[in-house]
Amino acid sequence: MDGEVLTQPLFRSLGWTWWTKRPSYLLVFLRESSSVFIAVQVVLVLVLLHKAGQPAADYQAYLDFLWNPGMVVFHVVSIVFALWHTYTWFNLLPQTVAIRIRGRRIPGLLLVAPQFGGWAVVTGLIIAWVWWVGAA
Amino acid sequence: MSTAIETMVKFEVFRYQPDWDEPTYQVYDVPYHEDWVVLDALNYIKDTIDGTLTYRWSCRMGVCGSCGAMVNGYPKLTCAAFLSEYMPGPIRVEPLVNFNVERDLVTNLEGFMDKLESVQPWIIRDDGATDELKSEYLQTPAQHAVYQQFSMCINCLLCYAACPVSSHSDEFIGPAALALAQRYNLDSRDEGVEQRRDVILKDEGIWECSFVGECSAVCPKHVDPAGAIQQAKMTGAIDYYRRLLMPWTVKS
Amino acid sequence: MRGRSHEPIFWSIFGMGGVIAAMFIPVMIFVTGIGGAAGWDAVTGALAHGEDGIGALLNHAPVRAVLGLIMALASVHAAHRIRHTLIDLHVHAPPAVLIVASYGAAAILSALIAIVLALF
Ligand code: SF4
Ligand code: FES
């Protein structure tokens, strides 16, 4: 074409719908989405703490709201997301922290397993403490 | 040639020329061979059906890194993507996403080359020696093992095509170049950490990364660029607080 | 220093918050949202109004301090993730706007948490 070089480069992006394109993307997107549920649950607990300092009737009304069936469904969904956060977070540590012994990375399991162990202990202790207070 | 009826595979190949307004998909029927890879099919198309098809390749053995393309939406080395994995087809072949398309399956690599150069992926010495090392610098196997994984990159750019951050930020230095920066920063012979710092520790360096991790999943050489970036973030954060809280320990 | 990012501040708090959220948020949701609703008497008792219930859980200052820290760190963690997720969803907002909106919201939330727990 008269020696003229035609170039109109075409940019093709993975696009904002990347998270729909493969299961591995979706799982990451769900991991990131856990943050929304965590944030809402923090707000719900904040209100609970606030209501705890109010008259008993106000507090009870909030508990009734928090424990109505629709909200319980939301809590169950939230806890699934929170557990997905826990699971993915613990498993990603070996990629972030490279502990080397004589140049070789230590096995990831050595970093991952103690976290799950710690999680089980912390969760167990808190439930035991709540149980102990509530049963008293 | 066997006399049995040949199985055919339908290929839908992305076509685009610079003077076209719109790309299209062109369909080709290619005979199925169990030991063929997608690159073999492209060569078959070019040799026997349509000589105008443009794509890059060289080594046919997963070493040169030039044959990357989206195969059914997944970034792949076409020389390592066996047809048998995609049977009965159709098999859709497109240029790697997150790059400008020059023509057909050929992407423009200039932006990447600039990013790669910006991290100075070579051994830097305090005494100024770069490409010409002034003496022998010995390294133990353990010192070599520290960066070995990050040195396996063949610049195939599959990781950029997998990266949601690269899909919206053309400034993001991206997985392969950052992994290579980390490779030299971890090399016991290198003294260039300071010189690479400003490029790596920008937002467009490691900090835009949101650790989707798909770069590491698609990498044919198991480089784990996501891990390299995470480790650089860890070092970068420690460095940041050290500069903030103990500025006297930082050489300028 | 040109172009040097201050993201390490957000990233490091995000990281601490991530560990804290991983450790404590599931059990927090269970205790406040599920156990009582499921009719588990011990949880209902522990969350009852007054000195024998939720008061007994929260009457120690160190407990309130730790709880406040957990909730505040989880908020910043969530804010950071939401911000980066919006960016990865190609939301074209000026970076400063997203930073102020996300960490600002987390800061306000943290302040409220501190006030409520201090006045408890
Ligand atoms: S890091 Fe892996 S996927 Fe990325 S360019 Fe290098 S070899 Fe290819
Ligand atoms: S042709 Fe060289 S890597 Fe595929």
C-alpha to C-alpha distances, A125 to A122, B87, B241, B245, C20, nearest whole angstrom:
5, 53, 34, 37, 15
Indicate if the alpha-carbon torsion angle C50, C56, C61, C67 is positive or negative.
negative
What is the token pair recorded at B115? 């990013």
Q: Does B214 touch chain C (CB under 8 A)?
A: no
Residue B1 falls inside a structural domain: no
H-helix segments, A53-107: 56-66, 69-96
Q: How confident is the model at residue B249 (pLDDT cuts 50, 70, 90)?
A: confident
Q: What is the pTM of this model?
A: 0.93
Contact B176, B220 (CB under 8 A): no
Q: How confident is the model at residue B2 (pLDDT cuts 50, 70, 90)?
A: low
User: pLDDT tens across B170-209, in order?
Assistant: 999 999 999 999 999 999 999 999 899 989 999 999 999 9
Q: Answer yes or no: do B168 and A22 touch at CB < 8 A.
A: no
Q: How confident is the model at residue B128 (pLDDT cuts 50, 70, 90)?
A: low
Q: With a cut of 60, say whether residue B163 has pLDDT above it.
A: yes
Q: How many domains does chain A have?
A: 1
What domain range includes position B139?
A: 110-249
pLDDT top residue among A99 and B4: A99
Q: With a cut of 50, say whether residue C2 has pLDDT above it.
A: no
User: pLDDT tens across A96-136, in order?
Assistant: 998 888 778 899 999 999 999 999 999 999 999 999 998 87
DSSP state letter for B89: -
What is the token pair recorded at C78? 């969530």
- Return left, alpha or beta for B31; rule: phi > 0 is left, psi -120 to 50 is alpha, else beta: beta
Quick one: B115 and B89 in the same domain? no
Q: With a cut of 60, say whether residue A2 has pLDDT above it.
A: no
**Mean per-residue pLDDT of chain B:** 93
Q: With a cut of 80, say whether residue B127 has pLDDT above it.
A: no
Ligand 1 pocket mutation, candidates B74, B76, B153, criterion most atoms within 8 A of CB:
B153
- Return left, alpha or beta for B72; rule: phi > 0 is left, psi -120 to 50 is alpha, else beta: left
Residue B3 falls inside a structural domain: no
Residue B149 falls inside a structural domain: yes
Question: Of the bound ligands, which one is closest to the alpha carbon of residue B62?
Answer: 2
Dist. CA B179 → ligand 2 center (Å): 20
> Residue B116: its pLDDT value, please?
96
CATH number reported for the structural domain that contains residue A21 in this entry: 1.20.1300.10
Residue A49 falls inside a structural domain: yes
Q: With a cut of 70, say whether residue A7 has pLDDT above it.
A: no
Domain boundary among B85, B107, B129: B107
C67 SS3 class: helix
Nearest to C109 by CA among C67, C75, C69: C75
Could you give the CA distance from residue C80 to residue C91 in angstroms, rounded to a whole number? 15
What is the token pair recorded at B154? 């063949």
What domain range includes position A8?
A: 2-96
Q: How confident is the model at residue B252 (pLDDT cuts 50, 70, 90)?
A: low
Residue A15 falls inside a structural domain: yes
Domain boundary among B63, B82, B107: B107
Could you give the CA distance from residue B52 to residue A119 in angstroms, rounded to a whole number? 60
Could you give the CA distance from residue B56 to residue B76 in angstroms, rounded to a whole number? 13
> Which residue is closest in CA terms to ligand 1's atom 3?
B219
User: pLDDT tens across C81-106, in order?
Assistant: 999 999 999 999 999 999 999 999 99
Contact B37, B79 (CB under 8 A): yes
Provide the edge-to-edge strand list for the sheet that holds B68-71.
B24-31, B8-15, B91-94, B68-71, B74-77
DSSP state letter for A68: S
| Domains, chain C, with CATH or none | 7-119 (1.20.1300.10)
Quick one: B101 and B123 in the same domain? no
Q: Tell me the shortest Cα–Cα distance from C88 to chain B, in angstroms.
A: 6
Could you give the CA distance from residue C91 to residue C98 in angstroms, rounded to a whole number? 10
Question: Of the bound ligands, which one is closest to the alpha carbon of residue B229?
Answer: 1
Q: Answer yes or no: do C8 and B203 touch at CB < 8 A.
A: no
User: pLDDT tens across C7-55, in order?
Assistant: 999 999 999 999 999 999 999 999 999 999 998 999 999 999 988 899 9
Q: With a cut of 50, say whether residue A77 has pLDDT above it.
A: yes
Residue B2 falls inside a structural domain: no
**Mean per-residue pLDDT of chain A:** 93
Q: With a cut of 80, say whether residue B134 has pLDDT above it.
A: no
DSSP state letter for B7: P
Quick one: B97 and B114 in the same domain? no
Residue B25 falls inside a structural domain: yes
Q: With a cut of 60, say whether residue A5 has pLDDT above it.
A: no
Residue A114 falls inside a structural domain: no
> Residue B3: its pLDDT value, please?
56
Q: How many CB atoms lie within 10 A of CB C50?
A: 11
Quick one: B97 and B198 in the same domain? no
Which residues have C-beta within 8 Å of that of residue A34, sequence separation ≥ 6?
A: A81, A82, A84, A85, C81
Q: What are phi and psi of B55, to 5 degrees?
A: -160, 165
Quick one: B117 and B236 in the same domain? yes
pLDDT top residue among A80 and A135: A80
Nearest to A72 by CA among B112, B4, C101, C40: C40
User: pLDDT tens across B26-48, in order?
Assistant: 999 999 999 999 999 999 999 99
Burial A5-35 (b: 16+ CB within 10 A, else e): eeeeebebebeeebbebbeebeebbebbbbb
Neighboring chain B residues of A25 at a CB cutoff of 8 Å: 164, 212, 214
Domain boundary among B72, B90, B107: B107
Quick one: B70 and B170 in the same domain? no
Q: With a cut of 80, say whether residue B135 has pLDDT above it.
A: no
> Which residue is closest in CA terms to ligand 1's atom 1?
B176
Contact B174, B130 (CB under 8 A): no
Q: With a cut of 70, say whether residue A6 has pLDDT above it.
A: no
Could you give the CA distance from residue B139 to residue B133 in angstroms, rounded to a whole number? 14
Q: How many domains does chain B have?
A: 2
Q: What are phi and psi of B138, to 5 degrees?
A: -80, 155
Q: With a cut of 70, say whether residue B129 has pLDDT above it.
A: no
Residues lining ligand 2, judged by CB closer than 6 Å? Answer: B 57-60, 62-67, 77, 79
> Residue B181: its pLDDT value, please?
97
CATH number reported for the structural domain that contains residue B43 in this entry: 3.10.20.30
Residue A125 falls inside a structural domain: no
Residue B87 falls inside a structural domain: yes
> Which residue is closest in CA terms to ligand 1's atom 6?
B153
Contact B205, B229 (CB under 8 A): no
CATH number reported for the structural domain that contains residue B207 in this entry: 1.10.1060.10
CA-angle at A52, arms to A47 and A58, nearest 5°: 85
